[in-house]
A = this chain, B = another copy of it.
Amino acid sequence: MAVATRAHLAESTPAQVREVIRSGAWQGTTTGVAMGYVQANLAIVPHSQAFDFLLFCQRNPRPCPVLDVTEPGSPVPRLMAPGADLRTDLPRYRVYRHGELVDAPTDICDYWREDLVGFLLGCSLSFEAALLKAGVPLRHHEDGQRVPVYTTNIECRPAGIFEGPMVVSMRPIPAAQVARAVQVTTRFTATHGAPIHVGNPAEIGVDLERTEFGSEPVRFRPGDVPVFWACGITPQAVAMRVKPELMITHYPEHMFVTDLRDEEIATL
């Protein structure tokens, strides 16, 4: 099979993108694919921990906004993409055992079990499109980079066995457009919503030069203010803290593409 191109995938439907990924013809990031459709973070845990994890998400909706939860043992996200398979339809995964990253496979068929429950959590790609439409510049886009990501000193609200620090993404925003950026992202409560912090990185334990999870610092333009949004990588920080027997997540930037359009999950 021919290798797909990002330009082709940008104009494809979510079902087409997932089929290309499932076939192995695309193992890159999902940035810019199926433009206008909601992409999601993935976290998979055993059923015995599913209540605790769902409660963790419910108590921490900014980093972990729940879009869909599969039936135990089913890899099908019925609400977000009834024709999809969470075992094969992401380009790459991360497998954590007892808090250690042990594998980064392109499918998880070998890891799948009848007691696993999949959680799809909103991701920031949806609100980034809205920010661009509103005329708010995204510096990491301009420089062709991934969004920088940091672990903060903000503790999530614990639930059962799950606890850990909140992970955030940071975007430099021109001071005159910070308010607009808050307004635009507020509509996207299902994909992290409004910023959790504006300015003053040190207060949340962030050194802007010390990016994490494979991201790199982004260049500020004069007058830019650092604006922080909760990030769907938070469950991975939780896994590293709590060291559950098994947690499987998406690989950063290698997301699940749902059948919903961005505007369908916006409020107001």
Contact = CB atoms under 8 A, between A and B. Distances in A.
Interface of A: 47, 50-51, 54-55, 58-59, 66, 69, 71, 79, 157, 160, 186, 189, 267-268
Copy count, this protein chain: 2
Nearest to A47: B51
Nearest to A52: B51
Nearest to A55: B69
A50 B55 CA distance: 10
Contacts of A157: 79
Contacts of A50: 51
Contacts of A47: 51
B69 A58 contact: yes
Contacts of A267: 186, 189, 267
Given A47-B51, A186-B267, 7 more contacts: A50-B51, A54-B54, A58-B66, A58-B69, A71-B160, A186-B268, A189-B189
A55 B117 CA distance: 12
Nearest to A49: B51
21 contacts: A47-B51, A50-B51, A51-B51, A51-B54, A54-B54, A54-B55, A54-B58, A55-B69, A58-B58, A58-B66, A58-B69, A59-B69, A59-B79, A71-B160, A79-B157, A186-B267, A186-B268, A189-B189, A189-B267, A267-B267, A268-B268
